Amino acid sequence: MMDRQSLKTRIRSIPDYPEPGIVFRDITTLLQDPEGFRDTVDLLVAPFASNQVDKVVGVEARGFITGGAVAHQLRAGFVPARKSGKLPWQTISQEYELEYGTDAIQVHTDCIERGERILLVDDLIATGGSAEAALSLIERVGGEVVGATFVIDLPDLGGLQRLRDRGYRAYALVSFEGQ
């Protein structure tokens, strides 16, 4: 398996995207590489290898890619957490704060059965707002959170620490400082 530094070099950095002063971390270059994709999935799963996981919740849209593969690796079901208005059946919503204003994500009310053990997967954790909202949704529908796993952490924004401070097991594969 490649080490985390090799994995990190496969992530493309795009300066001034989506706006001046922001460096966007583009994981498509990592995921399109067969070895990179396989190792990413193995490393996302590793901290939870000895845990029973019934379902993986992936956050729209990039969290669907890694989340789908992690669910497959763990032989678990997959549950999408989507932006408002995208799920076709009965939903519950959780708002979270953005830099300016709020946003919300939703899951179907019947997506998880009481006591099922759930792993949250997303491509990136920044402030942790959407991750906290997703974890809250999982608990509101009766799930038991096993933990949360991310490809990229932006530690200066404090999201991973925020989840840990709330008692969750939370991990990321690589960190980019200075955001």
Question: Under the rule (CB under 8 A), what is the footprint of a copy of itself?
Answer: 12, 14, 17-18, 24, 26, 28-29, 31-34, 36-38, 41, 54-55, 58, 60-62, 64-69, 71-73, 75-80, 82, 86-89, 108, 110-112
Q: Is 8 or 108 the residue whose CB approaches a copy of itself more closely?
A: 108
To a copy of itself, the closest distance from the beta carbon of 145 in angstroms equals: 16
Residue 95 C-beta: closest distance to a copy of itself, Å: 21
Which lies closer to a copy of itself via its Cβ, residue 18 or residue 20?
Answer: 18
The least distance separating a copy of itself from the CB of residue 121, rounded to whole angstroms, comes to 10
CA–CA gap between residue 58 and residue 80 (Å, rounded): 5
Of the pair 28, 84, the CB lying nearest a copy of itself is at 28
Q: Could you tell me where the DSSP H helices lie in the chain?
A: 4-9, 28-31, 34-45, 62-74, 129-140, 159-165
Residue 109's Cβ-count burial label (10 Å; 0-12, 13-18, 19+) is middle
Measuring CA to CA, how many Å separate 139 from each of 4, 10, 33? 31, 35, 35
Q: Residues for the chain: how many in total? A: 179
Nearer to a copy of itself, 3 or 110 (CB): 110
Minimal distance in Å, beta carbon 71 to a copy of itself? Answer: 6
Angle between helices 62-74 and 34-45 (to 10 degrees): 70
Q: Which one, of 140, 136, 118, lies nearest residue 128 by Cα?
A: 136
Q: Which of 38/162 has CB closer to a copy of itself?
A: 38
Closest distance between a copy of itself and the C-beta of residue 142, in Å?
13
